[in-house]
Amino acid sequence: MSVAPGVGVVHSGRWLGGVALGKPAVFVLLLLPLAWLVYAVAFNQLGANPAQALVRATGDWTLRMLCLVLALTPLRLQFDLPQLARLRRMVGVFVYFYAVLHLLSYAWFDMGFVWVDVVKDIPKRPFILVGFTAWVALSLLALTSFDRAVKWLGGKNWRRLHRSVYAVAALALLHFFWMRAAKNDLYEVAVYALVVAVLLGWRAVRALRARTRA
């Protein structure tokens, strides 16, 4: 049976948005990294330095979730997947969830949960200061992610606040860069930087086109 050009893409996009990307399924998928980490800890699969591996893994997954949440809007608009809009808040909460795990892993394994030492350590090391700043910004976004916050702040102010996720992405990349630069391991940094640059560049081009039309 012949299909008109583009119809197959639209129908498959609706199927992906409506079935394969249902909220319960996505919720489980977003928990899989945590499940793997729990398994790896229980069965000693984190290598010679499990503490360092856990800190690194939670940070990596925070950055991956951040890239995912930034990708939802381009995917929704480019491939006609309106259902993806329903997933943005949940994915955003998971960004914060893994960021909290990353912070707790650092506080536990590097500082032994001595919070006075944690507070003293933050301004001493630039990469930790940058990472903590990103975490504070994410905390504000998480605290205002519910519907009442939109009404309380007003739609325009709420959107302005949540655009700070772009600054969070930049800070997260800088944090990641400084961590890896000390070990001269910048390949992954370049990959994430390229992904974030494409996602933010898409938004910049779209905003420029909108202004030109106006």
Residue 158 CA, chain-centre distance (Å), reads: 19
Cα(57)–Cα(178) distance, integer angstroms = 16
Residues 6+ apart with CB under 8 A from 175: 59, 127, 128, 130, 131, 134
3-state helix, strand, coil in the chain (%, to 5): 85, 0, 15
Handedness of CA 38, 181, 188, 194 (dihedral sign): positive
Cα–Cα distance for residue pair 173/136, rounded to 1 Å? 15
pLDDT of residue 7: 39
Q: What is the pTM of this model?
A: 0.88
pLDDT truncated to tens, each residue of the chain (214 aa)?
333 444 344 444 444 444 445 889 999 999 999 999 999 999 999 999 999 999 999 999 999 999 999 999 999 999 999 989 999 999 999 999 999 999 999 999 999 999 999 999 999 999 999 999 999 999 999 999 998 999 999 999 999 999 999 999 999 999 999 988 877 779 999 999 999 999 999 999 999 998 888 7
Burial class of 113 by CB neighbour count within 10 A (0 to 12, 13 to 18, 19+): exposed
